[in-house]
Structure 1
Amino acid sequence: MPTEKVAIFDTDVDSRVSDNPADNVQRAQQQSEVDVTVGLVAGLNDDELIARDSRLLRVKLDWRLLPLLWLLYTRMSALGASSILGLIGDAHLSAEQFNTLGSAFYIGYLVFEWPQAWALQRFPVAKWVLFNIFLWAVFLGLHPICKSFGSLFALRFLLGASEGAVTAGLMLVTGMFYTRAELGERLGWTFQCNGFAQVVSGFISFGVYHVNPNSKPNQWHWLMIAVAILTFVCACIFLALFPDNPATAGFLGPEEKHLVIRRVRDNQNGIETKKWKKEQFNEALRDPKTWLFFLFAAVSNLQNGMGVQYSIIIKSFGFTTLQTTLLNIPSGVAQIMGITLGCYMLRKMPNSRAYLAILFFMPSVLSAILLMTLPFHNKVGLLSSFYVMSFGGAPSFVFVVTWVASTCAGHTKRLTTNTIFLIGYAVGQILCTQFWRVRYRPRNLVPWGLCLASYAGDFILILAIRTLFDRENKRRDALQRERREEEEFGWVEVNGERKRVHKSLLDLTDCENLSFRYVL
């Protein structure tokens, strides 16, 4: 029997990991240390469940969960649209201060990401996300009373703090209900609602433009009020209908709950464990993939300054304010089209995330080159190039988000890895908003050039991650062929009774579980 430890990329993990993976399965004994669903499935003979077609259940999950997730991701911060509707003048902002308001959101996101991760493990996931959505609505609704840079900075900071729970919560909760093969499409469909939010924001901006700019509330006030009300309505719907995990999903019957848990068993990362484990936290910090994902998030989001600047950019091409309110709508449509196509291709080629991400970055590379080189009087060409950037970059980032969500096991380790990835996301967003200086307008050669350079970093990091995962999968295949037998079940104490459960529910990390394979 080989004595090599099951450690990712041949990196040794904690001494608690046995030389024999079967011992790791036997390690977890107390119900508090393992998955929250073991009380439902411990000792259950699921041979009948294995043979059942789960398609109808997946459809039921989609109809119940996806509309709520889409509502969640249709929320808008509305800062970009407010820039041309009177915000800058009312608050007496300089261009640099407006850029800093874009950074303030992600500074709050960055500062509160660790506390949000702790809360997502400590409290019911859906309830905590809901609490943060209500805060988001309140903070948006307070924007119209702000008269200065300082007050706007404080609210943008608090908005970012509340946002920190949303993406991390989404990455957790989708993995509780869907297999890894299904996860990519569901996360993609949810993220494309960012594009839908741009469409909705465009129409709302067009409507409030017709408000008298000298009235109180004025144009940008009404925009913020409308978005706050829509967010509050979404939160109320979310409160009534969204479950914390399969075990508490009231719309599922007992057998359906068992089948949901059985369906995701092959993910090898369980459902949810409420006990924070220091050893898993430390393992995440030592795991190379954690930092590669962090670097990708930071580098790829250097391209995202137009998330705040888009109205200013479009108007700089020579369009009026009224035209600009509507001309961002195709950008949202392009994002929806890109992510929809990307999700379809991922379904057809499920182990091709890395190559698809690089493929979809190519239109954005072309877009950056065109925005730097087209004659500035060519308004249509510049505007079309801007839309192409939205088509390409969004699906590539979604592919990597689904990669992060699918390649880590152990609840504390998964939360830690997700958090570090999102901290990288915040770092990139903080930096990118500072590139769009007044002195670079209207051509913006420096920010577009920095976008172009960041794509090269993306390609290198994506290929490095794929290479490491591919090598580790082959190493594990070889180890399993040598050992031939491996314990698939462990034992857990449930209400004083010792019961057998599958090892995927024992809260083992991907480093401890030899059966875990990294999707490519």
Structure 2
Amino acid sequence: MVNSDSSFIDEENLKEKTSVHLHHVFSQEELKNADEALEYALETEGFVLDPVKEKKVLRKIDYMILPMMCMLMTCQLMDKATNSYASIVGLRTDLKMTSQEYSWVASSFYLGYLVFEYPANMLLQKFPLSKTLTFAVISWGVVICCHGACHSSSTFLLCRTLLGLFESFMDPAYMIMTSQWYRKEEQYIRCGFWLGMQGFGTMLGSGIAYGFYIHKNSFSFAPWRLLYIVTGVITIFFGIVSFFHIPDIPSKAWFLNDEEKKYVVERIRKNRTGFGNKTFKFSQFKEAIMDPCIYLFFFYMVGYGISNGSVGNFGSILLSEEFHFSTGNSLLMNMVGSGIDIIFPLAFALVNHYLIPSRLAVGLFINVMVFIGVCMLAFAPESATRLGGFYLTYLTTASWACMSSIVSTNVGGHTKKITANTSFLIGFCVGNMIGPQAFLGKEAPIYFTGKKVMVGTYVLTLISQASLLGIYMWRNKKKMAKDITETGEEEEELQLEFGDLTDEKNPKFIYVL
């Protein structure tokens, strides 16, 4: 095993060997602003990738990185979804929550997420990514355990807000990691894997809640308290494992040998996004806030988040009160939605890989299906049809996987990327805060206003995604019209590959459609 603090080339030798070369190719200011992978990329210039060996390296990355990503995503969604299960096994009764207070319990998580989203992105840029994420994971595991000790709505609301604060690190970290480890064409499938594990997380949480519920007389604690404690302990455990397992950047991977680390660096050359840069660049931030795509990411996620927050927090209540399943069966019926979450994100990624080359076209198809489901849930007269619509809304996870891969692939420049991530996830927070507020207690068990809000706002996702497709097609056409070839001076190539240039400033950056 390679020591976790080592890189594939001794740092002192690397500096001596490449210093002259670096200063010949880049000015001092350009060196300061370049990507972290630049020095390693200089050392691997002319390195020829063997396709057979590259497949073995990719397989090793998948075996070592993806399972850990999937487990942490499982923990995140398991912890976030505990409200939905706890709400029907005594939480609202024991804490004497009104319907309005429960809606705020759902929204308070996203308030914390919203407030800390940009600071979280900045911390992920400034400090080692894996270690920063590990701190956040362990912290939210502790906070989840604290949920089980709450005896009033106010303390529970505080815990939910803190949980949102610490979970705000997770999604941007994974979007950055996906762009660090994988080629552009590989990223959608990997997003499908780790986002699909949302389903396993909600399935596991639902199963744990069901087990505690049917054996509630065997415990001195209320089932919902045990649910929070057990899920919190599971999260803390995997947070500790992550600390030792996941490297901060690919070139420090303990599970790769020297040659394999060279393959990792060479593989991401054509992404033109590198490993990242620890310097905040105001010029990139300014470009981001002038880029209409950043706002489309936001509006897309507002529409997505309203439906996600509604079903995520009121799903068990709808199954119990509107569809008249028993408490135990409602917990089990949640697993159907969890299965949809697991299967379809990856399934649609494979459709994109083998059948339909446009990710955004696949995403539009998914969102049309979700919109049909939302309409069925809101307006269908038959209970069975409304239930079918309820389960169609779970395809939103597949939609998230598609758009997440677009953000990680189509935004160049590290500061611009974290700004795009922030806009994307702030939209997610805003939507998830609005959704539960539209579910009015006086309308139980039908919650007609909440359902109509879901229908009206989901149109945002369709418009935003179609607009992104049009913009990216236009930008690619403009770049190709300049007739830029793949050959060029060494200085130009290095700057375009590892100069931490934005997607708009880099003439060879081609957007994935």
Please say whether Structure 1 and Structure 2 have the same fold, judged by a TM-score greater than 0.5: yes
Which of 229, 246, 250 matches 1:242?
Answer: 246
Map 1:162-311 onto structure 2 (within 5 A): 162-212=166-216, 216-304=220-308, 305-311=310-316
Within a 5 Å distance, the mapping from 1:313-324 to structure 2 comes to: 313-316=318-321, 317-324=323-330
CA distance in 1, matches of 2:216, 2:291: 56
Q: Which residue of 2 aligns with 1:470?
A: 473
Whether the 8 Å CA contact 2:302–2:430 is kept in 1: the answer is yes
Q: CA deviation at 1:315?
A: 0.2
Aligned residue for 2:148, secondary structure, equals: helix
Compared CA separation, residues 374 and 399, structure 1 to 2 (3 A): same
| Whole-angstrom CA distance in 1 between matches of 2:133 and 2:431 | 23
User: How many residues in Structure 1 have an aligned counterpart in Structure 2?
Assistant: 483
Supply the distance in 1 between the matched residues of 2:343 and 2:448 (Cα, whole angstroms).
27
**Conservation of the 8 A alpha-carbon contact between 2:370 and 2:393:** yes
Q: Following the alignment from structure 2 to structure 1, what is the Cα–Cα distance between the partners of residues 380 and 51?
A: 59
Greater shift in the superposed pair: 366-375 or 217-226: 366-375
Closer/same/farther in 2, CA of residues 214 and 258 from structure 1, 3 Å limit? closer
Say if 2:452 is the partner of 1:458: no
Distance 2:407 2:486 in 1: 29
2:41 & 2:161 partners in 1: Cα distance? 43
State the one-letter code of the partner of 2:351: M
Partners of 1:28 and 1:506 within 8 A in 2 = no
What one-letter code is carried by the residue in structure 1 that aligns with 2:61? L
SS in structure 2 of the partner of residue 405 of structure 1: helix
Q: Which residue of 1 aligns with 2:342?
A: 336
CA distance in 2, matches of 1:414, 1:372: 37
Aligned to 1:89: 93
Residues 163-209 of structure 1 show CA distances to partners (whole Å, capped at 9, x for unaligned) of: 11000000001110101110001011100111111111121011100
Q: Secondary structure of 1:296's partner?
A: helix
Superposition CA RMSD, Å: 2.0
Aligned residue in 2 for 1:437: 440
- The yes-or-no answer on 1:416 pairing with 2:419 is yes
**CA separation in 1, counterparts of 2:230 and 2:507?**
51
1:366-445 counterparts in 2 under 5 A?
Answer: 366-375=372-381, 378=383, 380-390=384-394, 392-445=395-448
Contact 2:40 2:265 in 1 (8 A): no
Instruction: Supply the distance in 2 between the matched residues of 1:347 and 1:51 (Cα, whole angstroms).
Output: 19
Distance 1:409 1:95, change over 3 A: same
Q: Counterparts in 2 of 1:472-491, with a 5 A limit?
A: 472-480=475-483, 487=488, 489-490=490-491
Q: Supply the distance in 1 between the matched residues of 2:48 and 2:219 (Cα, whole angstroms).
A: 67
TM-score by length of 1: 0.89
Check the 8 A contact 2:436/2:450 in 1, yes or no: no
Q: Displacement, 1:513?
A: 0.7
Cα pair distance change 1:437/1:27, threshold 3 Å: farther
Instruction: Indicate if the aligned counterparts of 2:184 and 2:271 stay in contact, CA closer than 8 A.
Output: yes
Q: Which amino acid aligns with 2:313?
A: V
> How big is the shift at 1:38?
2.2
User: Residues 140 and 485 of structure 1: is their aligned pair in 2 closer, same or farther, counting only changes over 3 Å?
Assistant: closer
Cα displacement (A) at 1:486: 6.5
In the TM superposition, residue 248 of structure 1 has moved relative to its aligned partner by: 1.2
Structure 1 residues 68, 374: closer, same or farther in 2, change over 3 A?
Answer: same
**Structure 1: segments with no counterpart, 5+ residues:** 1-24, 492-499
Equivalent position SS for 1:306 = helix
| 8 Å Cα contact 1:213/1:219 also seen in 2 | no
Per the TM alignment, residue 50 of structure 1 is displaced from its structure 2 partner at its CA by 6.7
Contact 2:378 2:386 in 1 (8 A): no
Q: Which moved more, 1:164-173 or 1:274-283?
A: 274-283
Partner of residue 68, structure 1 = 68
**Greater helix fraction, Structure 1 or Structure 2:** 2
Tell me the amino acid that sits aligned with residue 409 of structure 2. Answer: S
Match for 1:314: what amino acid? L
C-alpha separation between the residues in 1 aligned to 2:163 and 2:217?
Answer: 26
- Cα 1:298/1:209, change in 2 over 3 Å: same
Name the CA shift for 1:257/1:30 in 2 (closer, same or farther; >3 Å): same
Q: CA deviation at 1:337?
A: 2.1
Is 1:356 the equivalent of 2:359? no
Q: What residue identity is the alignment partner of 2:405?
A: T
CA contact (8 A) 1:489 1:503 kept: no
CA apart distance, 1:349: 4.5
For 2:491, what is the secondary structure of its paired residue? strand
Cα deviation for residue 502 of structure 1 reads: 5.7
> Structure 1 pair 27/360, CA: closer, same or farther in 2 (3 Å)?
farther
Alignment gaps of 5+ in structure 2: 1-24
Using the alignment, how far apart are the partners of 1:490 and 1:410 within structure 2? 18
| Matched letter for residue 265 of structure 2 | I
Cα drift, residue 367 of structure 1: 2.1
AA matched with 1:35: D
In the alignment, the residues of structure 2 paired with residue 513 and residue 114 of structure 1 have an alpha-carbon distance, to the nearest angstrom, of: 25
For 1:130, the equivalent position in structure 2 comes to: 134
Checking the alignment, whether the CA contact within 8 Å between 1:81 and 1:311 is kept in structure 2 is yes
SS at match of 1:490: helix
In structure 1, the residue matched to 2:510 is 517
Aligned partner letter, 2:407: V
Map of 1:312 onto structure 2: 317
Higher RCO (CA-CA < 8 Å; seq separation 6+): 1
Q: Please state whether the residue corresponding to 1:73 is helix, strand or coil.
A: helix
Q: How many Å separate the matches in 2 of 1:109 and 1:82?
A: 21
Give distance in 1, aligned partners of 2:171 and 2:179. 13
The answer to whether the Cα contact below 8 Å between 2:374 and 2:392 also exists between their aligned partners in 1 is no
- By how many angstroms is 1:236 displaced? 1.9
Task: Indicate if the aligned counterparts of 1:189 and 1:343 stay in contact, CA closer than 8 A.
Answer: no
The 5-angstrom pairing of residues 7-46 of structure 1 reads 29=29, 31-46=31-46
CA distance in 2, matches of 1:171, 1:350: 23
- The alpha-carbon deviation at position 310 of structure 1 amounts to 1.1
TM-score normalised over the length of structure 2: 0.90
Q: For 2:248 and 2:292, how far apart are their aligned partners in 1? A: 31
> Does the 8 Å contact 2:373/2:392 carry over to 1?
yes
Equivalent residue for 1:496?
none
Partner of 1:495: none
- Contact conserved, 1:198 with 1:332, CA < 8 A, in 2? yes
Q: Is the Cα–Cα contact under 8 Å of residues 181 and 350 in structure 1 kept in the other structure? A: no
User: Aligned letter for 1:56?
Assistant: K
Relative distance call for 1:332 and 1:419 in structure 2 (3 A) is: same
Read off the aligned partner of 2:455 and give its amino acid letter: L
Per mean C-alpha deviation after superposition, the further-off stretch among 419-428 and 446-455 is: 446-455
Per-residue deviation, 1:215: 5.5
Whether 1:507 and 2:494 are equivalent positions in the alignment is no
Task: Find out whether 1:326 has 2:319 as its counterpart.
Answer: no
- Kept after mapping to 1: 8 A contact 2:36/2:274: no
